[in-house]
Amino acid sequence: MKVLITGIDGYSGWPLALHLLGRGHDVAGLDNFVTRRRVKEVGSHSATPIPTFPKRQEAVRRLLGKELRFYKGDMTNYAFVRHVLETERPEAVVHLAEQRSAPYSMIDVHHAVRTQVDNLTGTLHLVYGIRDVVPEAHLVKMGTMGEYGTPNVDIPEGFFEVEFHGRKDRLPFPRQAGSWYHWSKVFDSGDVMFGARIFGLRATDVMQGVLYGTRTPEITDDALLTRFDFDETWGTALNRFVVEAVLGLPITPYGAGGQKRGFIALEDSMQSLRLAVENPPKGPEYRVFNQFDAYYSVNELADLVQRVGREFGLSPTIEHPPDPRVEAEQHYYHPILENLPALGYKRSRELEDVVREVFRDLLKFKRRLVARRHVVMPVVQWREADNRGHLSGRVPPAPAPTPTASVAPPTTSDRTPA
């Protein structure tokens, strides 16, 4: 199948390309490399050394004997999106090209706006681009379990049957996201749902849990490694805990640590996305897949990392810094997972094994962590309107607006005398 991956240079975009190539699919991708730049902006880098994209293409050629086509550009440029779709005419598009950090979106007003505007613009451009160029193509859009928040009822896969005042309907499950970033994903979901309805698109909206892990089976050589972020802004909970243990820092579950989330190993996320790609909706449809395979409290993960860390001769301690986020620290959590298992999804990795593998990789690249140990602990306070003061020495500048087709001069705001 011809598959286009937007955000192919990212943590999951890259291993997805390798996985789909391995399954015999014809893969192309696009990226603007913004994650590489923004990770630098916060003073960090990938724990794993990652080659430039042309070197990645070379490694694929050399090690897998495959060609991987690539387009550099920004999805906020509609002409670029159309150009890629017209050149490639993909049968499936996996949309991963989004600003993916909740803490980044909470830095200040400009980062909030940039996150929501760019994510929403890229998604709308893709909805129209598919409608215009490849209306039969299947859009697999990456959302997040975080869109649902932590309601006191089970979390269905996108829709639920409701009875209210004696009448019934099947309605979208209400979204209660917990950061501007997570809201941007809610907005994307709304636009894709409406795009499917008005233009007859085929779409799978993936509500993904938190990813963890450094490896997939296709990463057979260090030249094929994917990035692995560990700083406060770009790293995720479990990944960061292992980094803390390796660096001899305390493991830091935020607050009480009772926050539960759905998690999935990087390798099993690839399995899920591949199942979605290989089983498109038969006709116009908007369907939602919850994509995780277990849920853990942050404390359970901290305990596990501590235990596995001891196998490696480390003596990690656990500390509970105040939660910088605004979230319930104890709550009911029961998301439903039926659609992916119905397509044959089976968990392939046990959490503990993956954690062991992450320890092995991070110990191997420990020098790269030591060089950046100051970026691990959280400083962005989500209730603060402006965190640039806190981020002394590692402050991301206010992001410039991404221009679309043309650029108008700045509006002058003058006060008309009353």
Q: Which residues are catalytic?
A: 144, 181, 185
CB of 393 vs a copy of itself, minimal distance in Å: 22
* Euclidean distance between CA atoms 201 and 183, whole angstroms: 23
Closer CB to a copy of itself, 109 or 371, in the complex: 109
Q: Please give the structure tokens belonging to residue 233.
A: 């802004």
Closer CB to a copy of itself, 115 or 208, in the complex: 115
Provide Rg for the chain, Cα atoms: 21
Told to check if 83 binds a copy of itself by CB under 8 A, we report yes
Told to check if 72 binds a copy of itself by CB under 8 A, we report yes
Answer for which of 23, 26, 51, 57 binds a copy of itself (CB under 8 A) is 57
Span near a copy of itself by CB under 8 A; candidates 71-79, 273-281, 355-363, 370-378:
71-79
Determine the straight-line distance between the first and last CA of the chain, rounded to whole angstroms.
65
Instruction: Looking at residues 150 to 179 of the shown chain, list those that interact with a copy of itself (rule: CB under 8 A).
Output: 151-154, 156, 160, 162-165, 167-169, 171-178
CB of 164 vs a copy of itself, minimal distance in Å: 4
Please work out the total of residues on this chain that contact a copy of itself, with binding judged by CB under 8 A. Answer: 88
Instruction: Looking at residues 318 to 347 of the shown chain, list those that interact with a copy of itself (rule: CB under 8 A).
Output: 326, 332
* Euclidean distance between CA atoms 286 and 112, whole angstroms: 28
C-alpha to C-alpha distances, 181 to 111, 138, 386, 394, nearest whole angstrom = 9, 25, 16, 20
CB of 344 vs a copy of itself, minimal distance in Å: 25
Told to check if 74 binds a copy of itself by CB under 8 A, we report yes
Span near a copy of itself by CB under 8 A; candidates 147-155, 244-252, 284-292, 369-377:
147-155
Closer CB to a copy of itself, 46 or 119, in the complex: 119
Q: Where are the alpha helices (DSSP H) in 28-108?
A: 34-41, 53-59, 78-88, 102-105
* Euclidean distance between CA atoms 292 and 81, whole angstroms: 30
Told to check if 371 binds a copy of itself by CB under 8 A, we report no
Phi–psi pair at 75, nearest 5 degrees: -75, -10
Closer CB to a copy of itself, 31 or 232, in the complex: 31
Q: Please give the structure tokens belonging to residue 173.
A: 């499950």
SS3 61: helix
Write the DSSP assignment of 187-211 as a string of letters: HHHHHHHHHHHHH--EEEEEEE-EE
Closer CB to a copy of itself, 171 or 371, in the complex: 171
CB of 297 vs a copy of itself, minimal distance in Å: 19
Nearest to residue 7, comparing CAs of 74, 84, 91?
A: 74
Told to check if 89 binds a copy of itself by CB under 8 A, we report no
Closer CB to a copy of itself, 116 or 297, in the complex: 116
From residue 110 to residue 129, what is the string marking binding to a copy of itself with x (rule CB under 8 A)? Answer: x-xx--xx--xx--xx--x-
Phi–psi pair at 164, nearest 5 degrees: -145, 125
Burial class of residue 256 (count of CB atoms within 10 Å of its CB; 0-12, 13-18, 19+): middle
Nearest to residue 372, comparing CAs of 273, 233, 264, 253?
A: 233
Give the helix/strand (H/E) hosting 111. helix 109-133
CB distance 281 to 138 below 8 Å = yes
CB of 56 vs a copy of itself, minimal distance in Å: 10
Answer for which of 37, 40, 89, 197 binds a copy of itself (CB under 8 A) is 197
From residue 27 to residue 46, what is the string marking binding to a copy of itself with x (rule CB under 8 A)? Answer: -----x--------------
Write down the number of H helices and E strands in the chain.
13, 12
Told to check if 352 binds a copy of itself by CB under 8 A, we report no
Antiparallel, parallel or unpaired: β 159-164 and 167-172: antiparallel
CB of 170 vs a copy of itself, minimal distance in Å: 9
Q: Kindly state the DSSP code that residue 333 receives in the 8-state scheme.
A: -
Closer CB to a copy of itself, 176 or 279, in the complex: 176
Q: Kindly state the DSSP code that residue 9 receives in the 8-state scheme.
A: T
Span near a copy of itself by CB under 8 A; candidates 104-112, 236-244, 272-280, 366-374:
104-112
Closer CB to a copy of itself, 223 or 318, in the complex: 223
Instruction: Looking at residues 372 to 401 of the shown chain, list those that interact with a copy of itself (rule: CB under 8 A).
Output: 382-383, 385-386, 398, 400-401
